[in-house]
Chain A
Amino acid sequence: MLMQTDTRADTRPDPAVMARPTPVLALDGITKTFPGVRALSNVTLKLYAGEVTALVGENGAGKSTVVKTLTGIYQPSAGRILLDGKEIRFASAQAAADAGITAIHQETVLFDELSVAENIFLGHAPRGRFGLIDWAQTHARAREILQGIGSDLAPTARLRDLGIASKHMVAIARALSIDARVVIMDEPTAALSHKEIHELYELVDTLKAQGKAILFISHKFDEIFRIADNYTVFRDGQFIGDGRIEDTDNDALVQMMVGREVAHVFPKRSPSHGDDVLSVTDYSHPTEFEDISFSLKQGEILGFYGLVGAGRSEVMQSLFGITRPSGGAIRIDGAAQQIRSPAEAIAAGIVYVPEDRGHQGAITALPIFQNVTLPSLGRTSRRGFLRLAEEFALARQYCERLELRAASLDTELGTLSGGNQQKVVIAKWLATQPRVIILDEPTKGIDIGSKAAVHDFMAELAAQGLAVIMVSSEIPEVLGMSDRIIVMREGRMAAELSGDEMTPETLVRHAAGITQALTETRT
């Protein structure tokens, strides 16, 4: 169909939209309320066969509630769900699965002791005579599904023997093992490395070609524009707008998401730095990393880029005293330091904000103020006895500096949003008055607003003379924030980049070990 070339039709009912087929699955005026909260308010969402629809919105926009409504976990309070234009109710998760709706979650529960095929067909394996599992057919169909998504895993392989990427493929195969018409992908690339993300994109193309309707939820704009056909934007549980992806751009989407004009500009920083604070030489570990050497100046932000599994977090956790290195030396302000435990690292002025906030970074069942003061108890107490007033004062000082939003300082940390929890973790470390702060994926899984706040704050810390190490897998973030970048590959330093060398191409090339042209991809 030929359209006008230059002048966009201004009249609202676009003929192209009018002529679109019936959506496979549609939400029409869905409202979902919980006691005291309206999670979704009269939202609309349309998913078409053979097309990818990206659902975008900040944290708390209602994306996960939509997923749970579509998969039958939540029942809507009002509104209609339409399957092929006919109203349908999903009384249970099983009903949604029977209707051909499946979801690939970030953390699908898999079973290490079972085989690939058993994991894929758990609960709905093909049955033979006497109701026993028909193993021949189970394995054959598992192989078929795996081949359909471009994987050559053996159906009989035990899951515990597989790597993370292969396990992810099993999770996807499990989602596709029911005859799915609608595939929901909830931040599928959050835990994947560059190469695996590329494979996932190919998988999405395959699924599209098979005529499946795909709902794609992601925080990453580059991938939305890479693979989506349509977009739908939610904000605070409300439908804001939708349309074809080619009719919009980065700024327009961000503006719809946040409701105001926001250009994500990385904070401007002064390039002048102070003296060397941290120097690491020939730092090695028997299995995780080898010959890591670098130095870090006051006021400098040093980026660490690499693929998942390149050993970046392992180096950082070793500098923080979690794992013992097999060799090498650490100097702080020129003096050699022995760091055998986090307590010694903190005493030496090195602190670490881990990637895994819920498990390592914070103690979510304890109140906010106790989380903040935990490493600083030596300062807020007298002869080992707690002084609550001092604890509250210290916690208040740093929480307010980070503009924490919380009902009170003795609120349980776990009740806060991810972004606010991250602020408490950072407040905890600043309260120790460190020399070096290591941030491991500091903005992973937090919304754009909080992201910008974390970036601004990192710049401010550096300006105040703190030495900052930032581990990040997001190229714009690494490039936007770092003064220098170390790229790691397979446990070794692949490159140290500064100034004009810091481009997306050089990062990707060194991280993937491509020495020739960028177009040559390793398989």
Chain B
Amino acid sequence: MSLSHPIPDRLQSPLARRLKSWESLLLLVAVAIFVANCFASPYFLDAWNLSDATFNFTEKAMIAFAMALLVIAGDIDLSVASIIALCSTAMGAAVQAGVGTPGLVAIGLGTGLAAGAFNGALVTRLALPSIVVTIGTMSLYRGIAYIVLGDQAYRGYPDSFAFFGQGYVFWVVSFEFVMFALLAVVFGVLLHKTNFGRSVFAIGNNATGALFSGIRVQRVRFILFLLTGLMSGIAAICLTSRLGSTRPSIAMGWELEIVTMVVLGGVSILGGAGSIPGVVIAAFVMGLVTFGLGLLNVPGIVMSIVIGALLIGVIALPRLWSMLRWGA
């Protein structure tokens, strides 16, 4: 017996699928906010202003890329902002000991990796739920920073260290923005074009099924925690360099903004679905909104209300749309 009709690869072209995707909707939102900002403030459409605006999201977005993979795989890391505090404190202490810029970078990255490895080991070796583990390490890592620093601050970073957070590569293009773009490509390729990315999706959809298909589930999950720690270390270097000092309250509350960015980018909080382009657009949306409101002198507390409303609004939009179409 042979099949009369061979099975086609796809019924829908990848382009058609992309046009109907979450990312397209989000891109429309981003454009709308951009246009609204142009009308709202005469200062908005200025190259240097726009360049400044990117600092609102570049550091958070770097972590959001790794967090997106982690959430797609069905885990979460709420300790990322505390890892920044830990890394920054470690670098600050090193500065007091006279360590130079290359050493500081190594210490920042190394501390991030170590913190991520500790999270990953607790989650995969002891089989603990990642949300509980990282709520614990969130307090732990931040607590270490407070014990070391108290109400003091580390200053005196070398001049060459300032480049990571304050340097420009070309005209208005900052080093941070280049890092952001580069990491977006790296994580986009990692998630969407490699075997590793495929196993991330498989684990997020059905970890048992992935294990039974020969995926090394625990190893992949551990690597994702490592990556998130590493990205937190990179963000810590950029942020510390930009601020020029370390206080224990550095990056306080960022974990929720990062998770918001990830979810706004279309990553399923239940795992199994999401994309890096979505997170990139979500980063722009959040950056544009906060910067636009900043130009209008809107206070910070109102800004967080707007971000919250935006998140709920954008997420409810497709649901409302289908209710209007099918309901009535």
A75 touches B (CB below 8 Å) = no
**Is A361 touching B212 in the complex (CB atoms < 8 A)?**
yes
Q: Which residue of A lies closest to B206 (CB)?
A: A363
Complex interface bits, A397-426 against B, C-beta within 8 A gives 1, otherwise 0: 001100110111111000000000000000
Q: Contact flags (1/0) for B192-226 with A, using CB distance below 8 Å?
A: 01111111011001101111111110000000000
Query: Does B305 touch A at the CB level, under 8 Å?
Result: no
Residues of chain B contacted by A385 (CB below 8 angstroms): 189, 193-195
A375 interface residue, CB < 8 Å from B?
yes
Contacts of A346 in B (CB 8 A): 214
A-side contacts of B215, CB under 8 Å: 342-343, 374
In the assembled complex, which residues on chain B have CB atoms less than 8 Å from the CB atom of A370? 198, 201-202
- B6 and A396 contact, CB distance less than 8 A: yes
Whether, in the assembled complex, B42 has its beta carbon less than 8 Å from a beta carbon of chain A, the answer is no
Q: Does A381 contact B (CB under 8 A)?
A: yes
Q: How far is the CB of A63 from chain B (nearest CB, A)?
A: 27
User: How many angstroms between the C-alpha atoms of A366 and B205 in the bound complex?
Assistant: 8
What is the bound-complex CA distance between A362 and B210, given in angstroms?
8
Partner-binding segment picked from B8-16, B31-39, B134-142, B231-239: B8-16
CB contacts (< 8 Å) of B266 on chain A: these are none
Contacts of B10 in A (CB 8 A): 408-410
- From the candidates A364, A386, A399, A407, name the one contacting B194 in the complex (CB within 8 A): A386
Cα A411 to Cα B193 in complex, Å, equals 19
Indicate if the CB atoms of B195 and A381 lie closer than 8 Å.
Answer: yes
Interchain CB contact under 8 A, B195 and A363: no
Assembled-state Cα–Cα distance A404/B197 (Å): 27
In angstroms, Cα B272 to Cα A15, docked, is 62
Pair B210/A400 contact, Cβ less than 8 Å? no
Give the residue name and chain of the A residue nearest to B211 (CB): A342
Interface residues of A in 344-378 (CB under 8 A from B): 345-346, 352, 354, 359-366, 369-371, 374-375, 377-378
> Bound state CA distance, A400 and B199, in angstroms?
25
CB closest residue in chain A, given B1: A403
Is residue A428 contacting chain B, with contact meaning CB distance below 8 A? Answer: yes
Task: Give the distance in Å from the alpha carbon of A372 to the alpha carbon of B202 in the complex.
Answer: 12
| Nearest-Cβ distance from residue B199 to partner chain A, whole angstroms | 8
Are A378 and B195 interface neighbours, CB within 8 A? yes
Smallest Cβ-Cβ distance to A344: which chain B residue: B214
Cβ contact within 8 Å between A362 and B209: yes
Is the CB of B7 closer than 8 A to any CB of chain A? yes
Give the CA-CA distance A428 to B212 in the complex, in Å: 11
Contacts of A364 in B (CB 8 A): 205-206
**CB-based nearest B residue for A360:** B212
B3 at the interface (CB under 8 A from A): yes
Q: Is A115 an interface residue (CB 8 A)?
A: no
Q: How close is B15's CB to chain A, nearest CB, in angstroms?
A: 14
Query: Which residue in chain A gives the minimum CB-CB distance to B8?
Result: A408
Asked if A180 is an interface residue, CB under 8 A from chain B, the answer is no
Note all chain B residues with C-beta closer than 8 A to A345.
Answer: 214
Question: For the complex, what is the distance from the CA of A378 to the CA of B214, rounded to whole Å?
Answer: 11
The closest CB in chain A to the CB of B272 belongs to A365
User: Is residue A341 within 8 Å, beta carbon to beta carbon, of the partner chain?
Assistant: yes
Q: How far is the CA of A406 from the CA of B8 in the complex (A)?
A: 9
Establish whether residues A361 and B195, one from each chain, have CB atoms under 8 Å apart when the complex forms: no
Can you list 29 residue pairs at the A/B interface with Cβ under 8 Å? A320-B212, A341-B214, A342-B214, A343-B214, A343-B215, A345-B214, A360-B209, A362-B206, A363-B206, A363-B210, A365-B205, A365-B206, A366-B205, A374-B199, A374-B215, A377-B198, A385-B193, A386-B198, A392-B9, A396-B6, A400-B6, A400-B7, A403-B3, A406-B7, A408-B10, A408-B11, A409-B9, A410-B10, A411-B11
Residues of B within 8 Å of A410, CB to CB, are 9-11
Given contacts A322-B212, A385-B194, A396-B6, 8 further A-B contacts (CB under 8 A): A361-B209, A361-B212, A363-B210, A370-B201, A374-B214, A375-B214, A385-B193, A408-B7
On whether the beta carbons of A409 and B7 are closer than 8 Å, the reply is yes
A499 CB–B CB distance under 8 Å = no
The smallest C-beta distance from A487 to any residue of chain B, in angstroms, reads 26
In the assembled complex, the Cα of A409 lies from the Cα of B9 at a distance in Å of: 5
Whether the Cβ atoms of B195 and A360 lie closer than 8 Å is no
Given known pairs A341-B216, A377-B195, the reply for A359 and B211 (CB within 8 Å) is no
Give the residue of B1, B196, B205 whose beta carbon is less than 8 angstroms from that of A363.
B205
Note all chain B residues with C-beta closer than 8 A to A375. 213-214
Q: Which residues of chain A from 313 to 341 have a CB within 8 Å of any chain B CB?
A: 320, 322, 341
Q: Which residues of B contact A342 (CB under 8 A)?
A: 211-215
A384 interface contact, C-beta 8 A: yes
A352 touches B212 (CB 8 A): yes
Contact B209 A363 (CB under 8 A): yes
Q: Which residues from chain A contact B208 at a C-beta distance below 8 Å?
A: 359-360
Q: In the complex, are the beta carbons of B11 and A384 less than 8 A apart?
A: no
CB contacts (< 8 Å) of A374 on chain B: these are 198-199, 202, 210, 213-215
Q: How far is the CA of A316 from the CA of B132 in the complex (A)?
A: 34
Listed residue (B11, B189, B213, B272) with the most chain A CB atoms within 10 angstroms of its CB? B213
Query: Closest Cβ of chain A: how far from B96's Cβ, in Å?
Result: 42
Chain B residues 231 to 283 lying within 8 A of chain A, measured CB to CB, are 272
Nearest CB in chain B: distance from A329 CB, A: 22
Q: How far is the CA of A118 from the CA of B205 in the complex (A)?
A: 34
In the complex, how many angstroms separate the beta carbon of A425 from the nearest chain B beta carbon? 9
Docked Cα-Cα span, A361 to B202, in Å, equals 12
**Using Cβ atoms and an 8 Å threshold, which residues of chain A touch B196?**
384
For residue B314, give the distance in angstroms from its CB to the closest CB of chain A.
23
The residue on A at minimum CB distance from B195 is: A377
- Distance of A385 Cα from B186 Cα, bound (Å): 12
Shortest distance from the beta carbon of A387 to any chain B beta carbon, whole Å:
10
Alpha-carbon distance between A483 and B23 when the two chains are bound, in angstroms: 56
**CB-CB < 8 A to B189: which residues of A?**
385
Note all chain B residues with C-beta closer than 8 A to A365: 205-206, 272
For A320, what are the chain B residues with a Cβ–Cβ distance below 8 Å?
212
Shortest distance from the beta carbon of A157 to any chain B beta carbon, whole Å: 29
Residues from 1 to 53 in B contacting A, C-beta threshold 8 Å: 1, 3, 6-11
Complex alpha-carbon distance, A407 and B8, angstroms: 7
> Which B residues are CB-close (under 8 A) to A359?
206, 208-209
Q: What CA separation (Å) do A410 and B8 show in the bound complex? A: 9
Contacting residues, chain B, for A400 (C-beta < 8 A): 3, 6-7
B213 in contact with A384 (CB, 8 Å): no
Which chain B positions have C-beta within 8 A of A403? 1, 3
* Chain A residues whose C-beta falls within 8 Å of the C-beta of B212 in the assembled complex: 320, 322, 342, 352, 354, 360-361
Min CB gap A457→B, angstroms: 11
Contacts of B205 in A (CB 8 A): 363-366
B202 touches A404 (CB 8 A): no
What is the bound-complex CA distance between A375 and B189, given in angstroms? 20
Q: Which residue of B lies closest to A388 (CB)?
A: B9
| Closest beta carbon of chain A to B221's beta carbon, Å | 14
- Give A411's nearest chain B residue, CB to CB: B11
Cα–Cα distance between A346 and B215 once the two chains are bound (Å): 10
Q: Closest chain A residue to B196 by CB distance?
A: A384
CB A450 to nearest CB in B, in angstroms, measures: 14
Q: Tell me the smallest distance from the CB of B201 to a CB of chain A, in Å.
A: 7
Closest CB of chain B to A370's CB: distance in Å?
Answer: 7
